[in-house]
Structure 1
């Protein structure tokens, strides 16, 4: 695809909304569609082009809506189908686009399809899900079909007493996996989950767990990486199965009819060529994917949370980002830039410094870094404010996510309630848990951060940082705020999209342990930029880039106050020393 006729989604910045936590319009303590509609002018004012709404479908909410009981109905606390139609039309009225979450690896166990599948072995929908007989050992003891560990701990297999078989669930037991090998099942998924919404005018989908639909033949055991524990991490076994390309080509054929886009969530895919095969324009499977290289930096190797905070070197983050950026080099593939979403802790707390002294500056540094990467940019609600993780003092009972509570319980059991192990588990969750992305959006410094009425009880605790200036109202009137900086960054990104959105990425001074620097070069026409980010609380030297004299280069954006003005390009004074958490964008 030539750059002159780039599809809309290539130059877009997409703003992700988590409905339960965004804005509550009826004061029942739960965010809703009315709250999103009320906030569209604010969202548009950021300079974004599209919104992505996390699951708002009918659901028992075992996994916050990623367990869908009806693809063609809305979760009542969020609103009605009429509210969804209003949201779609109001987004379009503002010249923006809307994409929805497409969750089709599994349904809820309350979905009508599964209820029928579970009712008897000879039900016509029995084969719509993945049922298998038990294995029995020499003593006649029943075991699941294999040793796969689910994404939330324990076995991926659930015994069903009524029909005397196991069903597969890669996530919660309440999220049974659909059987994609059944053609009838696939057609029903496409009609109910995709076409029904495309007909209502949505502009595309973020596709959940996009590489898990095709399971490997025979469902073999995973290698033992956690000795002494019966269930083993199996992501590299069950992802990217033999029929994935065919399924994605079928889906793409539907999306193309509606001129709709796709971005797939693509974990456990270390092979660059496999990723390119998914997102090559010529192959017509997916438009782009989220790779997990950057957000997985610092997580545990055996289990995600089995790690200590800041357990990584900057070089690892550089290499992770370079890997996803270099997808564009010599290919017809496309990529994404993101560091936060509903499944990640807040980036300022993970990769910056969330202390009052440095959180604003390090949040701006991260904004510059990810705002200058190539591909489609994704911004998560609250990221534009520099929202941070909940403090360590928040009790574990306030953590609502099934992933967090399962891990904490497992560590208590494994350690026989050893206080040190329990404290380490809490510290890991305070650093990495998904809950931090799910605390209510911070609109004001008032009670409940303006997310809901003062008399209401928010469904999840509000971060105390809302009262410390991290909120829309305080930041909107402050030129030196993270919010103001994001708006500037997105404006510059559009003005220089040839380099910043479409350009080729090259690491500079790759082994530098404190400074992350890279050059972007335009693929069409001319233009080069240099981005420099000091990932440390100490002064650092500017990198030496091919002996280039940066004193003659123009600074487009910086995150440090100069002569009483914040974020002002250093026109007069050239400084070869970077202050703590300082970042600069040079045009070369």
Structure 2
């Protein structure tokens, strides 16, 4: 993908919205598009520059990851006019909109599958994977190894009255598409053209990118995305693409040939380990190794980073509700290289543990139990007013988690070294204490030194050598003291950002 044009502007901080749970505009208890539009000023004030929306297409499920119509808006969420207004209002504020594009599979209710399942002579039959039990047994593909993103061990499903079974890696209600069909590829590219050029979205998050081809042909996945990336660039130059490739760096790397960004799941899990073990896990060295892998496939790669997303236990629950550790998590995410994604509600400390519905509970806007904008599509179990301080309360508290996020984002955008997205500018420091995570964010004129205390006790940090130049404190979680002997007294779970000069 090295010949593809990189986006003119790369948002420095992104925000993932699970649409159903964010904000309700019409009192039906379901988050919707107009609700998001009504909160654009809030997101702009927080410092967000791009929004990833989970699927907004018609679907029979609450999560919408099984599409029935790629050209329409889920009626529960609004209309196409509502979506056009969201785009217009977001763009006026300098906020990009990325759609979740689910093209690994469809719903069984999609017209393509309805036709495919009705007759093996129908042209749409080739849009999906079909085999007889004997073919499946001969190829020894009847069972698949469980992966972090799918616990379906028996991916072949019966179609009543049909001698063939169809392949659905996630569930029987989500049949996988077969991209050996040239006609299917044409239809998918037409869908992307519609949303990019006729509607005006800024890019796509690509769901289940490592499963576009089944596991027995997985080497073909990056090849497909390389073609996809070129098609997208031809359709609308500069469009953003970010892939969900839930795998180690060695497997993720080839996807950068076609996708401009990929989510860094290894980093997500390493940050969580740091939080509950209190040691740096050799994170900087691991990241530098990952960057070397990614850059061999695309020197202009974009590392999409996150603490957690809609498929993982919320970071607030990972640290068992400890606000100080949530602040530490935010400080790590927002000072490391890459393009960070904040999962809605992380900025107010929302909680949640699997099953999936429980990590997608309603955002808490105010302390009013009858707040009409709260999307009470599900009765919350973890993120309740008794366990999570409402945004309205946190906005008034300068020491709140919300204001911690807002300040960190502002610093990230103000310091060129922190705001650099491509060509990750990360370097190790001489500090080798395992309970401190430290790194330089290099820059020709404005380098930054970042220090995180990973434990629940104060620590002293001696600045020596090159680090002695970093004397100006531009951010601190809570008051830190720099003594005359270049020693920093860092509070428990505290973070500091230092630049050169006085």
TM-align CA RMSD: 3.4
Moved more, 375-384 or 178-187: 375-384
Is the 8 Å Cα contact of residues 449 and 467 (structure 1) preserved in structure 2? no
**1:52-201 equivalent positions in 2, closer than 5 A:** 52-61=52-61, 64-135=63-134, 145-149=141-145, 151-201=150-200
Deviation of 1:584 after TM superposition, in Å, equals 0.9
Change (3 A) 1:497 1:120: same
Which runs of 5 or more structure 2 residues have no equivalent in the other structure? none
2:223 to 217, 241, 245: 245
Is the 8 Å Cα contact of residues 440 and 462 (structure 1) preserved in structure 2? no
**1:85-484 equivalent positions in 2, closer than 5 A:** 85-135=84-134, 145-149=141-145, 151-215=150-214, 219=216, 239=218, 241-242=219-220, 244-259=222-237, 260-271=239-250, 275-279=252-256, 283=257, 285-297=258-270, 310=276, 314-315=280-281, 321-324=287-290, 331-350=299-318, 352=319, 354-355=321-322, 359=323, 361-389=324-352, 430=353, 433-447=355-369, 451-452=373-374, 458-461=377-380, 463-467=382-386, 470-484=389-403
For 2:344 and 2:294, the matched residues in 1 are separated by 27
Which runs of 5 or more structure 1 residues have no equivalent in the other structure? 220-237, 301-308, 390-429, 563-568
For 1:516 and 1:277, the matched residues in 2 are separated by 29
For 1:85 and 1:105, the matched residues in 2 are separated by 26
1:554 to 472, 484, 492: 472
Deviation of 1:295 after TM superposition, in Å, equals 2.7
For 2:485 and 2:93, the matched residues in 1 are separated by 41
Deviation of 1:530 after TM superposition, in Å, equals 1.6
SS in 2 for 1:557: strand
1:504 maps to: 425
Deviation of 1:103 after TM superposition, in Å, equals 0.7
Change (3 A) 1:313 1:487: closer
Change (3 A) 1:346 1:450: farther
Q: Under a length normalisation based on structure 1, what TM-score does the superposition of the two structures give?
A: 0.75
SS in 2 for 1:74: coil
Is the 8 Å Cα contact of residues 264 and 305 (structure 2) preserved in structure 1? no
For 2:13 and 2:266, the matched residues in 1 are separated by 20
Change (3 A) 1:475 1:572: farther
Deviation of 1:250 after TM superposition, in Å, equals 3.5
Is the 8 Å Cα contact of residues 168 and 177 (structure 1) preserved in structure 2? yes
For 1:86 and 1:128, the matched residues in 2 are separated by 34
Deviation of 1:514 after TM superposition, in Å, equals 2.2
